[in-house]
């Protein structure tokens, strides 16, 4: 054999060996290099999905980093085993608050060192370029965690999308506003740390998700309750521009956001000074030296007969995270305009069914507080002359109010938005403890849309499993295309296709009217679009 032929055989052999070895190096069960260092994932309960848990997306916000914008990840040596969800952020731990039972609560340790995220990927290689669903938990901004069992992402990942969940700071650790904090920040503002955390997590996704077989240009954000509110905030802040292409809002952020003006920074800074004083701290340095337990400790009343002071800082119009109010942002067309899917649950706003505390007098008082000079018109549309009739009228009126709020938010946003909008009304009762009492309660759709009912020990039936399969398919379709529709599913029309309709999901899959009749629809159309309400 001549040298040329021998060289060709050796060369082809080396190339063949390299080609043979390439898939193994790209397999997601191997070591993955991300921002900060190398990690090793673990197979899910279904080995078709690989889980990477407890991945840091920012430095621990402790010590001098408490009440600062998230900082760069601290690098690590070696290979980090990514097999466990991180500690939850600081909060008052609650292990059950019916109707929310074990599967809706976090049960791990809490810590200020909590800025970690989790990735569930069905990708086989890093070249798959799968769409990504970035899910944000609820909890009123004071509770919640990626450790909540039903937030497990494996079930939805089996539908062909990568699922990411991320912790974000809560309560006072997420929101303190103080003039010293504003002075030390390079952007000259303070507060809004939860949104800054979520922006940092989305930036991490943008930079790293391709290593997990994901497409950084195909990210959809979604959340429930306060998580839904955070999704809305991410559509408002310019800091999140280009980080996602779709949004899902479950039970939060509807037409009520018209008047979500937020508070001016200078005004809220005064509250921060009052909080520090109540804690005996003369400076932010002193406040940072306090333990988290001391920060969380209730502030006693000033004296007998005095109320115990409470401090809760909300959205701040700070010129940085939120240069404008939500209302002005949308009016000026400066929002992150993306296809949106939004809806509510049957008993989200009614509480137990029928609500045991609703009396005729309460119903009339509520009507007056909500509708003012239009309350007589409202009461004529939802008549009641006894307590039992008031309970029924309250439920039907609340359903119409909620469904119409989503629809008229959708029509209002078309003033500046160019993207599609899909709405829903979830009506399936989660089986289990007190289901007759609590009905289709707040958060009860989550195990179905995330396809995570296996994380609950409730007495699920074959019907529940079919609903979970259907709902998670609608959700994954939206993540993939910005449209929930797909083969084998009942058609879900957009609000543009079916005016004054919403999609019933759960027990049935069909468009239904937003209100009981045209007169009620006309009443809510005037209400949701009234200049007086927008000006509040």
**What residues act catalytically?**
225
Are 288 and 64 contacting, i.e. CB atoms less than 8 angstroms apart?
yes
Residues 6+ apart with CB under 8 A from 156: 120, 133, 163, 449, 450, 451, 452, 472, 475, 476
Bridge-based pairing of strands 214-224 and 162-166 is unpaired
Tokens of 392: 């029924």
Residue 229: phi, psi to the nearest 5? -60, -40
CA distances from 177 to 231, 261, 274, 292 (A): 22, 17, 10, 17
CA 522 – CA 350 distance, rounded (Å): 22
Q: What 8-state DSSP symbol labels residue 386?
A: S
Altogether, the residues listed in the chain come to a count of: 536
CA 105 – CA 126 distance, rounded (Å): 33
CA 355 – CA 324 distance, rounded (Å): 38
CA 472 – CA 153 distance, rounded (Å): 11
Are 416 and 536 contacting, i.e. CB atoms less than 8 angstroms apart?
no
Residue identified by tokens 């009739």 is: 389
Element (H, E) at 455: none
| β partners of residue 424 | 343, 503
| β partners of residue 421 | 340
Residues 6+ apart with CB under 8 A from 4: none
Q: What is the DSSP string of 303-371?
A: STTPPPP------EE-SSS-SS-HHHHHHTT-S----EEEEEETTTTT-SSS-TT--HHHHHHHHHHHH
């Amino acid at each position: 054999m001549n040298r040329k032929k021998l060289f060709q055989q050796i060369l082809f052999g080396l190339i063949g060996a390299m080609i043979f070895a390439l898939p193994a190096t790209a397999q997601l069960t191997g070591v993955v290099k991300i921002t900060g260092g190398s990690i090793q994932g673990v197979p899910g309960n279904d080995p078709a999905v690989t889980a990477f848990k407890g991945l840091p997306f920012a430095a621990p916000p402790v010590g001098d980093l408490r009440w600062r914008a998230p900082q760069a990840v601290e690098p690590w040596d070696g290979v980090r085993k990514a097999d466990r969800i991180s500690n939850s952020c600081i909060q008052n731990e609650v292990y059950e608050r019916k109707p929310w039972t074990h599967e809706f609560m976090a049960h791990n340790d809490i810590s200020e060192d909590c800025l970690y995220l989790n990735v569930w990927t069905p990708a086989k290689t890093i070249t798959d370029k799968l769409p990504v669903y970035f899910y944000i938990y609820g909890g009123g901004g004071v509770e919640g965690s990626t450790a909540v069992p039903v937030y497990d992402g494996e079930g939805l990942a089996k539908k062909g999308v990568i699922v990411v969940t991320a912790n974000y700071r809560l309560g006072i650790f997420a929101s303190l506003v103080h003039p010293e904090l504003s002075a030390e920040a390079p952007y000259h503002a303070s507060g809004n740390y939860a949104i800054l955390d979520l922006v940092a997590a989305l930036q991490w996704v943008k930079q790293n998700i391709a290593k997990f077989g994901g497409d950084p240009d195909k990210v959809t954000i979604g959340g429930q309750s306060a998580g839904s509110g955070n999704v809305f905030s991410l559509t408002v802040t310019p800091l999140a521009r280009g980080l996602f292409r779709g949004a899902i809002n479950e039970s939060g952020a509807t037409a009520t956001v018209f008047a979500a003006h937020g508070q001016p920074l200078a005004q809220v800074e005064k509250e921060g000074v009052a909080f520090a004083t109540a804690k005996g701290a003369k400076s932010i340095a002193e406040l940072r030296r306090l333990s988290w337990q001391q920060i969380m400790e209730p502030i006693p009343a000033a004296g007998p007969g005095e109320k115990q002071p409470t401090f809760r800082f909300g959205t701040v119009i700070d010129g940085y995270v939120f240069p404008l109010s939500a209302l002005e942002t949308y009016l000026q067309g400066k929002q992150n305009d993306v296809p949106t899917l939004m809806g509510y649950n049957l008993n989200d706003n009614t509480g137990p069914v029928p609500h045991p505390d609703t009396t005729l007098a309460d119903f009339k008082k509520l009507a007056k507080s909500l509708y003012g000079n239009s309350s007589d018109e409202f009461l004529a549309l939802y008549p009641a002359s006894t307590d039992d009739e008031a309970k029924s009228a309250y439920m039907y009126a609340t359903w119409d109010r909620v469904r119409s709020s989503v629809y008229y938010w959708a029509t209002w946003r078309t003033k500046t938005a160019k993207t599609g909008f899909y709405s829903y009304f979830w009506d399936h009762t989660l089986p289990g403890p007190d289901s007759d009492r609590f009905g289709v309660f707040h958060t009860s759709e989550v195990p179905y849309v995330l396809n995570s009912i296996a994380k609950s020990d409730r007495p699920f039936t074959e019907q529940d499993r079919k609903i979970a399969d259907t709902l998670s398919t609608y959700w994954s379709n939206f993540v993939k295309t910005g449209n929930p529709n797909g083969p084998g599913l009942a058609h879900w029309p957009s609000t543009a296709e079916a005016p004054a309709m919403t999609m019933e999901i759960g027990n049935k899959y069909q468009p239904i009217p937003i209100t009981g009749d045209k007169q009620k629809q006309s009443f809510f159309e005037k209400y949701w679009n009234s200049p007086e309400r927008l000006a509040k």
